[in-house]
Amino acid sequence: MAYHDTHVAQHSSQAVSASKVLRNTYALLAMTLLFSAVTAGAAMAMGVERMNIFVFFIGAYGLMFLVHKTANSAAGLLATFAFTGFMGFTLGPILSAYLALPNGAALIMNALAMTGLTFIGLSAVALVTKKDFSFLGNFLMAGAIVLILAMVAGLIFQIPTLMLMVSAGFVLFASAAILFQTSEIVHRAGETNYILATITLYVSIYNLFVSLLSLLGIMSSD
pTM value is 0.84
Spans of all domains in the chain: 2-219
Rounded distance between C-alpha atoms, residue 175 and residue 212, angstroms = 12
Rounded distance between C-alpha atoms, residue 82 and residue 66, angstroms = 10
Average pLDDT estimate for 33-51: 94
Question: Who has greater pLDDT, 48 or 7?
Answer: 48
Rounded distance between C-alpha atoms, residue 183 and residue 199, angstroms = 15
Q: Name the residue among 216, 207, 210, 217 with its Cα closest to residue 181.
A: 207
pLDDT digits (tens, 9 = 90+) for 102-158: 888 999 999 999 999 999 999 898 888 878 787 887 788 887 888 878 777 776 777
Rounded distance between C-alpha atoms, residue 81 and residue 28, angstroms = 9
